[in-house]
């Protein structure tokens, strides 16, 4: 896989604007591990190899257990491996990411709103939207995952 373009270099102002949202999410008060799980799940749904690689590495560096990491794609069947808050965040990430299919039903919103206050839910949705955007850049421009770059070297 080789990059089509370096979108950050081609349009630094656009990249900087997305970076501002990223910083806002980091400062939002949401747990970093929760946000990283959401970033990974969104990237898995969208098939963005670059982001899957990056967020997997981030979660490993943060000390996430390998068994939990392995179960992210099937979190609904993982029982108590994921906390209630994580399960609600992952469900919200899935319904928002698949908006064209789900339409984000009231039940999905109500479940998320029962777990997260308005600010947290807005910030979580910013994180989901941001990752969906970055996934589209990664897939469109064939961003090379670190593991692939290492294997080529």
Question: What tokens appear for 70 in the block?
Answer: 């392995």
Residue pLDDT tens, the chain, 153 long: 578 889 999 999 999 999 999 999 999 999 999 999 999 999 999 999 999 999 999 999 999 999 999 999 999 999 999 999 999 999 999 999 999 999 999 999 999 999 999 999 999 999 999 999 999 999 988 877 777 667 776
The matching CATH number, chosen from 3.50.50.60, 1.10.760.10, 1.20.950.20, 1.20.1290.10, for 32-138 is: 1.20.1290.10
28: part of which helix (H) or strand (E)? none
CA distance 120 to 82: 19
Please give the pLDDT value at position 1. 56
Predicted structure pTM score: 0.93
Contact status, residue 48 vs residue 139, Cβ threshold 8 Å:
yes
Domain definitions of the chain by residue range = 32-138
Question: What tokens appear for 120 in the block?
Answer: 């947290």
For the CA atoms of 115, 31, 39, 72, what is the dihedral angle to 10 degrees? -70
Contact status, residue 75 vs residue 23, Cβ threshold 8 Å:
no
């Amino acid at each position: 896989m080789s990059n089509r373009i370096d979108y950050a270099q081609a349009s630094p102002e656009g990249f900087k604007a997305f970076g501002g949202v990223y910083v806002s999410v980091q400062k939002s008060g949401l747990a970093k591990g929760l946000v990283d799980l959401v970033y990974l799940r969104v990237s898995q749904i969208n098939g963005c190899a670059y982001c899957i690689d990056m967020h997997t590495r981030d979660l490993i560096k943060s000390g996430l257990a390998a068994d939990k990491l392995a179960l992210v794609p099937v979190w609904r069947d993982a029982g108590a491996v994921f906390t209630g808050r994580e399960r609600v965040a992952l469900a919200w990430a899935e319904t928002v990411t698949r908006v064209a299919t789900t339409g984000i039903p009231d039940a999905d919103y109500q479940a998320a709103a029962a777990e997260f206050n308005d600010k947290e839910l807005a910030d979580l949705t910013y994180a989901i939207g941001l990752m969906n955007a970055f996934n589209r850049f990664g897939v469109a421009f064939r961003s090379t995952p670190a593991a692939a770059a290492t294997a080529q070297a």
